[in-house]
Structure 1
Amino acid sequence: MTQPNFREQALQGDAKAISILLNFQLQIHGLTAEANVKDGCLHIFLTSPATVPDRQNCLEFIRQEITDLEPQSIERVKVYGYLKGKKEPVWCQEFGLKFGAYSMLIASQAQDNNSRLSLPASQEEETPPLSKQFQRWPFVVAGILISILVISGLVFVGEKFLQQQSGNFEKIQK
């Protein structure tokens, strides 16, 4: 089976194909991922042999990968962080894939600060998907409008100041 076939199967919501694609990128960080789908929820089990998987970085990575993939029939993702040999997850978090879906912290325990997952440079430089770009446009418009208002205010105050100064100058000349 080739990687394009894995991607195609992952798009269909195949948990094994999603696991393989995730493991391809996670293995260099010493993590393994297993996945299964139940009732429209993709359960991803991340395991690290020595340190607790870093929740924030792992979730950011998984959320980016799964939302970019947009697998069919999957509405939610639940990610579990395991330390190898432990039966209970150290942390667990669930998030929705659809716009406006909820994100809920399920369980959390202290993490080892030495367990950091650094994302590949290619992931950090990618252009965000259009749905994320459209979510930002209200902030961009608001920033532009605020900038225009600030500049207009400064021009108005500067004009009043210059008028006042020119009035004072005329009084001095008389």
Structure 2
Amino acid sequence: MSNSRLIELAKAGNAQAIAQLINHQLQRRGITALASRQGTCLRLLLEAKIEPTQAAALAYLQQALTKLASPTIQQVEVYGRQQGTAKGWQSLLTLAQGEFEIFSGKDEGRSPRSTAPKSLSQSQPRSQAQDQPSDPPSAPPSIWPKIATIWLQWQGAAWASTLITSLIAAIGFGLVFLIIFSLFNRLSEAGVLLLTVTGLAVVFPLLGLLLGDAQTRVLRRWVRSIGGWRWFTMMGFMLGFLLTLCVHFLLDSTLAPLVLNPTTSFVIGQGIPFVATSIGLLFSLLCIALVQWLTIRLSVPRAYEWVLVSVFGGMLSWGLGMAASDRWVTPLVTSHSSYDFWSKLMVIGAGGLFSWLLFHAVSGLSMARLLYPLPRLPREE
């Protein structure tokens, strides 16, 4: 949504649009604002790891809301608290006079510690807050429903893009191999490997584009100006595939004499290709995570965590996925045939699929944690 449209909605009194404009400034200080509206009264809940400073927060809100000059909002109730706690401070801003009226308690000159509402819809009008005693502290709202929602949306994006890409790849590879076998009756292992690499060079950018587009639809519900995510993701997949390919074959060819040496142990001989692929994958994950980080670094607090989780979570998922494939898929394949080139290709493919889905389960939890403090954006009309 464009800034002009967001400002237009905020001037019309849209609480979510106002919260988004406020968050654009406050999130740089680690503060998240949630908003709701009842009649001409706007309610704002400010949360941070350290309780927001009352004077500084009120001074900023006075300036920002006076500048906004929404004719539909006359009063603003402001609640400030530390994340995970129920108590905090509470103030009232009357926009018509441009003055703050702080709820008074028994101690003169000090703002009492009030219990912030679980949700903004539970806050009481000022007259009730003065006449009735404060409710006992209640448990803070659980973060898990919102995190679970974002996580499920992230998994849906990954599974949908993977399924579509797999269908396209299966049809494409099937037609290519059918044509080749009908012309030449057979194909060498080198020919199969060459066709596989060529096909993956087409499949990976396609997967990156479809995945980036699906993830963009999820991110747009929480972050503005995220359109570059899909293109950066596709570019990251292209560069990552090339890096993995180059690093793998470079290390594999460099260490080939050691692998083929009769005196080399079986474990080392089998482990070197795996290590070469793992190092290539490390560069690939780092490349994809960095280009994605470029699109969210200014909009999402602690966006650098996405790079760390993508790299380390990806490597962990790769190891667990390949181990699971070797544990369950290899016995299944070898029970029907010898462990030849095709069997090895099936085991690697299954391990790659396991790793891919496990990676998105881990990275989805990280993205949900990053997006949790952000308010959901209003839908574009």
TM-score bracket, normalised by the shorter chain, equals: 0.5 to 0.7
Contact 2:13/2:73, CA 8 A, preserved across alignment: yes
SS in structure 2 of the partner of residue 18 of structure 1:
helix
**Residues 17-74 of structure 1, C-alpha deviations (whole Å, 9 max, x = no match):** 000000000111000001111121111110012x110000000001100011011211
Contact 2:78/2:92, CA 8 A, preserved across alignment: yes
SS in structure 1 of the partner of residue 45 of structure 2:
strand
Cα 1:102/1:26, change in 2 over 3 Å: closer
Within 2, Cα distance between the matches of 1:10 and 1:41? 14
Within 2, Cα distance between the matches of 1:75 and 1:22? 17
1:96-107 equivalences in 2 (<5 Å): 96-99=94-97, 103-106=100-103
1:4-83 equivalences in 2 (<5 Å): 4-49=4-49, 51-83=50-82
Contact 2:90/2:102, CA 8 A, preserved across alignment: yes
Within 2, Cα distance between the matches of 1:102 and 1:64? 11
Unaligned runs of 5+ in 2: 105-110, 114-381
Within 2, Cα distance between the matches of 1:103 and 1:57? 12
**Percent identity between the aligned chains?**
31
Report the Cα offset of residue 102 of structure 1. Answer: 6.1
Matched, 1:87 2:86: yes
Within 2, Cα distance between the matches of 1:17 and 1:77? 15
Alignment TM-score, normalising by the size of structure 2: 0.27
Write the letter of the residue equivalent to 2:22.
Answer: L
Alignment TM-score, normalising by the size of structure 1: 0.58
Within 1, Cα distance between the matches of 2:37 and 2:3? 21
Report the Cα offset of residue 103 of structure 1. Answer: 3.4
Report the Cα offset of residue 106 of structure 1. Answer: 1.7
Within 2, Cα distance between the matches of 1:30 and 1:72? 29
Within 2, Cα distance between the matches of 1:3 and 1:102? 28
**Residues 134-166 of structure 1, C-alpha deviations (whole Å, 9 max, x = no match):** xxxxxxxxxxxxxxxxxxxxxxxxxxxxxxxxx
Q: Which structure's CA Rg is the greater one?
A: 2
Write the letter of the residue equivalent to 2:92.
Answer: E
Give the structure with the higher percent strand. 1
Report the Cα offset of residue 109 of structure 1. Answer: 4.4
Unaligned runs of 5+ in 1: 111-174
Contact 2:103/2:112, CA 8 A, preserved across alignment: no
Cα 1:102/1:61, change in 2 over 3 Å: closer
Within 1, Cα distance between the matches of 2:96 and 2:25? 24
Within 2, Cα distance between the matches of 1:102 and 1:39? 20
SS in structure 1 of the partner of residue 59 of structure 2:
helix
Within 1, Cα distance between the matches of 2:7 and 2:68? 8
Report the Cα offset of residue 87 of structure 1. Answer: 2.3
Aligned residue pairs total 107
RMSD: 1.6
SS in structure 1 of the partner of residue 44 of structure 2:
strand
Write the letter of the residue equivalent to 1:77.
Answer: V
Within 2, Cα distance between the matches of 1:65 and 1:19? 11
Report the Cα offset of residue 2 of structure 1. Answer: 1.2
Report the Cα offset of residue 77 of structure 1. Answer: 0.8
SS in structure 1 of the partner of residue 46 of structure 2:
strand
Within 2, Cα distance between the matches of 1:71 and 1:92? 22
Within 2, Cα distance between the matches of 1:13 and 1:74? 7
Alignment correspondent of 2:145: none
SS in structure 2 of the partner of residue 45 of structure 1:
strand
